[in-house]
Amino acid sequence: MRAMNADLPRLAALDDEERLLDDLNPAPRLLMGPGPINADPRVLRAMSAQLLGQFDPQFRAYMRETMALYRRVFETANRWTFVIDGTARAAIECALVSAVEPGDRVLVLSFGRFGQLKAEIARRAGADLRVAEAEWGTVFRPEQVEEAVKAFRPKLVATCQGDTSTTMAQPLAEIGKICHRYGALLQVDATATVGGMPLPVDAWEIDCATGGLQKCLGGPSGSAPITLSERMAEAIYRRRHIEEGLRPQDYTPGAGRIIGSNYFDLAMLMDYWSDLALNHHTEATTMLYGARECARIFVQEGHASVFRRHELAGRATVAGAEALGLKVFGDQAHKMPNVTGIHIPAGVDGERARRALLEDFNIEIGTSFGPLHGKIWRIGTMGYNARKDCVLATLAGLETVLAAEGCKLPRGAGVDAARAVYRAAGGSAASS
């Protein structure tokens, strides 16, 4: 027996070696966690289009079209609206590293895991950092923000619109005005909300908004939309330095300190996306096709329709969970429409239940981080998956799994309650 066990690693390695030449054929999953979600098939089709060189006239036209489409998504006239090659975190880091010089004061409004992320990035950029914290499951009131900004007088304030770790959405309508009253820039991480709830960048005086494709926009991760106000662009462009080897003879560097990252140098990226077309990196052609298609689909459906679809899916999920006797997490007045936190019932092994849902139903839901780890599940209803069939399938699967865990549930009540929400909505939304 001991000899047989000793052979197991060798046999497993042989199996792995044989699998190296297998076709890539993952099991179908319904991704109903906090992201990523299933990409819209139209996005995947767009990403299969013929590759082009980054300076091909056709491709430069697609870049300009992508900029124009994301201006509509962000509801902005900002010239500097484009996409960063990288996941949503890349755009956040790009913005903070490019705008923040060592010693600059940065205030982070943190109400979850991704406020902590922004503090981490700002600290690495050498910021004089202050973090205002709201209890997980709550958000900041405008007067709290004004008090913190007035006391610290930062160069930049960074916050999330929606933090998926807590499922809370921070109201932003007044924060931009508060920041500008005290001379601060406002950077908003809208990774989990752009395309799923209102984000009128110009109306709310947001200086920089960043996002991702893999949530409400219905695409894969790997490309990150960003938009910059003129105020933000000026702060970044004063740090403009052109790479050696590309510099014209009349080159004069910016007055500010050179940006500490080459890849995440927004000043150089602005030159790359501009009519100057100064070489930076090789553009991720396939991802640009996907980003363009995500924005095109959003604009074609229309802001009001998309936001209603997300709100309806979230409301149906809450109704279904509560009908099963489950408790929804956090301040419901400020809940994100597209992610719902649900308290794991007492006596239930949360990870075992998630695993059963994945293995038996091919449905993935999320756990959470930090103080909420092992205490709540997170169900995402966003992008291509903000649909009635996805909501109903998830609730039915969760009910079955919980019953197997020994929970006493009113069988069928969750699906019935969610269907009732859709029926009451009527019209085309009922079949969304």
* Cβ atoms of residues 4 and 337 within 8 Å: no
CATH number, residue 368? 3.90.1150.10
* pLDDT band per the 50, 70, 90 thresholds, residue 432: low
pLDDT at residue 13 in the model: 63
pLDDT at 428: 46
pLDDT digits (tens, 9 = 90+) for 417-429: 999 999 999 844 4
- pLDDT tens digits along 105-157: 999 999 999 999 999 999 999 999 999 999 999 999 999 999 999 999 999 99
Tell me: do 184 and 144 sit in the same domain: yes
Domain count, the chain: 2
Looking up residue 287, the CATH number of its domain turns out to be 3.40.640.10
Same-domain check for residues 259 and 375: no
Flag whether 339 is in a domain. yes
Q: Can you read off the two tokens belonging to residue 341?
A: 């936190």
Name the nearest CA neighbour of 193 among 76, 84, 114, 94. 114
Question: Is residue 23 in some structural domain?
Answer: no
Q: What is the pLDDT of residues 45-90, one digit of tens each?
A: 999 999 999 999 999 999 999 999 999 999 999 999 999 999 999 9
Instruction: Tell which of 270, 298, 326 closes a domain.
Output: 298
- Residues 119, 195: one domain? yes
Domain that holds residue 322: 304-425
Residues 168-195 have pLDDT tens digits of 999 999 999 999 999 999 999 999 999 9
pLDDT band at 9 (very low <50, low <70, confident <90, very high): low
**Quick one: 218 and 237 in the same domain?**
yes
Q: Which of 248, 271, 298 is the last residue of a domain?
A: 298
Q: Are 93 and 222 in the same domain? A: yes
